[in-house]
Amino acid sequence: MRAPSIVLLCLLGFGCGPADEEILQACGPTATGEALTYADQVAHLITGEELQSVVAELASDAYEGRAPGSAGDVKAREWMAAQLADANIAPGAGQGYEQPFELVSVTTELPAAWPFSTGVSVAPGSEFVANVANQTSGALLAGAELVFAGYGIQAPEYEWDDFKAQDMRGKVLVMLNNDPDWDPDLFAGKRRLYYGRWTYKYEIAARLGAVGAIIIHTTPSAGYPWQVVETSWTGPQYEIPIEGEPRLEVAAWLTETAARELLASAGHDLDALTQAARSRDFAPVPLGITTTVELDAGLERVETANVLGVLPGCDDKLKNEAVVVTAHHDHLGMGIASSEGEDVIYNGAFDNATGVAAVLSLARALSALPSPPRRSVVFALVGAEEQGLLGSQYYARHPTFHAGRIAANVNFDGVSIWGEASDMIFIGLGKSSLDQVAWDVASYVGRTLRGDQFPDQGYFYRSDQFSFAKAGVPGIYLDGGVEIIGKPEGWGKMRINAYTTFDYHQPSDELTDEWVFEGMVADTRFGLLTTYLIAQADEMQSWNPGDEFAAAREQALAELASASTASPAD
């Protein structure tokens, strides 16, 4: 391990001389151009060799796919903590590098059929999937009434409320997937917002006191066929333990065909209900259908951890604020071999050993600056992302810096292995003041900045920056580029699509001789400069007016102001 720098020792409270104090007072430049040049002086420390070595380590068979709670998971966390220490990054979780948290695994046993009072029954798997949603060994819906709730959205900023103050307690809400997408001035048009995600719909139903929720699946509204729902929603479902939030008894999906039949059995037409739901004037429709069904579930608990390091800021005031840089360290573990010699280790090399490599390399570079950034920088290698962003969700609920003091989140989830790109994809472009930061960095490094190339798929809500957004923290998900320098137009998209088709969440996601590391170096450099600009800015980042997460930011800042008033020393 290298000896800690004088600057770091000073920041951690050890003695330092007058010359060192002068360095600390400087805290690096704040003007955009000067700050970019200042941070870029350490970019040469980000090398393909270093990035490759991290991927080769974490994606090796020795870590057995890094499933949460497994021996490989423990080994990976220990290795990453040692890397942070070697990079002169202080422990970020109290006395150590690990922030442990528990996972609850719920495996629901579906009944042979789900019956409804109109005489219709739907079949498990082929027509419905459902899960016990209360983290107990069973759930019961006893004569619960079904209510069609349209899109199931309450969005004051769009003057939209599908519930109209009706009492939803004890009901089973039947809802459409996605959000209103036919008007570019309403719910961002084709760009899916959180209101269109299934997680939001279950959450709002629980907050309103419903006991169950059924989402009607269509391939266009989901962005994937029914088989994805069927496979994803059967077997163990992982969550972090309930912390007092309202929960449903049953969370379910229903195929479009089965939904049509069920609604028709009570005299309702799905197309007519859907059309009615397209209006702000829509109000919930009692369907005249009840259901009684009991589900059993098996429960297991495992422990994993986020790995946290911190580079303390050097500004007397701003060091109490932070930029949080994230990448998830977990993957899918090991499968069961069906034949001798079959590869069943889900190594997760691209997803997401590359992201871990980028964060560790970025941390080494920032720690080598003559003076640390003004704000503190937290390096959060989070766990259980593949189980539903659970590690970042836990950190957002139990942050080491209050959400009102986190300037922004910079997230890496898969860093380019196809070569250096002339463009950079920013998932979340158009949502916050981070746009200007990204434009400034892109201009400096000579790359074209582009937004999400598949806005209807809701990728912003499918990686760890989303956990921070829900707590009010603006986030930037750097997703590499698709225009690979020296390759024909469309070549990058072709390679990415091939990875998605053949290697994504497969044992074949491994480090190979075909990998090219120049792109990973360039993307990590982009992240380094982005992080430094955020850390040096006089003001924290903010959501654009009217954004879906702006209210959460205001709430976090209000909570912080209230706490500071109550405790002036805070």
- The closest alpha carbon to 478, from 432, 427, 434, belongs to 427
- Is residue 7 predicted with pLDDT exceeding 60? no
d(Cα 491, Cα 2) in Å, to the nearest integer?
Answer: 42
Sequence ranges of the domains in the chain? 39-82+306-332+341-367+375-534, 105-299
Q: Which residue has the higher pLDDT, 552 or 12?
A: 552
pTM above 0.75, yes or no: yes
Helix ranges restricted to H, 368-461: 390-397, 434-445
* H or E element that contains 493: helix 491-502
201-224, pLDDT tens digit by residue? 999 999 999 999 999 999 888 878
54-107, pLDDT tens digit by residue? 999 999 999 999 999 999 999 999 999 999 999 999 999 988 999 999 999 999
d(Cα 524, Cα 324) in Å, to the nearest integer?
Answer: 15
Token output for 57: 């380590």
Interval 370-376 mean pLDDT: 97
Percent of residues, the chain, with pLDDT higher than 70:
94
CATH topology of domain 105-299: Glucose Oxidase; domain 1 (3.50.30)
Q: Which residue has the higher pLDDT, 141 or 12?
A: 141
Q: How confident is the model at residue 130 (pLDDT cuts 50, 70, 90)?
A: very high
Whether the CB-CB separation of 238 and 388 falls below 8 Å is answered with: yes
- The closest alpha carbon to 426, from 393, 356, 370, 474, belongs to 474
* H or E element that contains 497: helix 491-502
Q: Which residue has the higher pLDDT, 198 or 147?
A: 147
**48, amino acid identity:** G
Token output for 354: 């590359």
Where do the DSSP E strands lie in 271-405? Answer: 285-311, 322-328, 333-334, 345-346, 376-382
* H or E element that contains 363: helix 354-367
Q: Phi and psi at residue 5, in whole multiples of 5°? A: -70, 155
- Is residue 21 predicted with pLDDT exceeding 70? no
Position 567 scores a pLDDT of 56
- Domain spanning 39-82+306-332+341-367+375-534, CATH class: alpha beta
CA 239 to chain centre: 14
Q: Which residue has the higher pLDDT, 174 or 234?
A: 174
| Cα–Cα–Cα angle for 96, 97, 98, rounded to 5 degrees | 100
